[in-house]
Amino acid sequence: MELAHQTGARRRKRFRSVQDRAVRAAAHARYDFRDTDPEVLAWTDALNEESKRKFTDPSRILKEQIKKEERKVKRTTELEAYEQKMGWDAYVMDMDPSPVGMEVCHEVGLV
């Protein structure tokens, strides 16, 4: 509903300054025709496809992924250093929710 409201407002704004009602109606008709004509829509879709950004190398690694991995490694390293400083065993903070990890926790008495 909101999109229809915005589209109507955009159309009214576009033709608001045209004083002659016949000219305004003709402009509305051309606008409607352009928005519903299959040939125009096909041409617009083809043009949009051509102008899209194409990533030609799918094997490339994004900078965000590299930075995310660096942050993850840094957090893990800092956590392990903190665990050693506190004198904890490594598996205390690294609880694996898998059945094997939970067995270790039960044996130690953590759960």
The single-letter code of the amino acid at 103 is E
- Measured CA to CA, the distance from residue 46 to residue 53 in angstroms comes to 14
pLDDT band (50, 70, 90) for residue 107: low
pLDDT at position 87 over 60 = yes
pLDDT at position 92 over 70 = no
The answer to whether the beta carbons of residues 110 and 95 sit under 8 Å apart is yes
How high is the mean pLDDT of the chain?
Answer: 79
pLDDT at position 36 over 90 = no
pLDDT at 106: 55
pLDDT over 70, % of the chain? 76
Please choose, from the candidates 104, 69, 72, the residue with its C-alpha nearest in 3D space to the C-alpha of residue 94.
Answer: 104
**Structure token pair of residue 21:** 């009602």
pLDDT at position 26 over 60 = yes
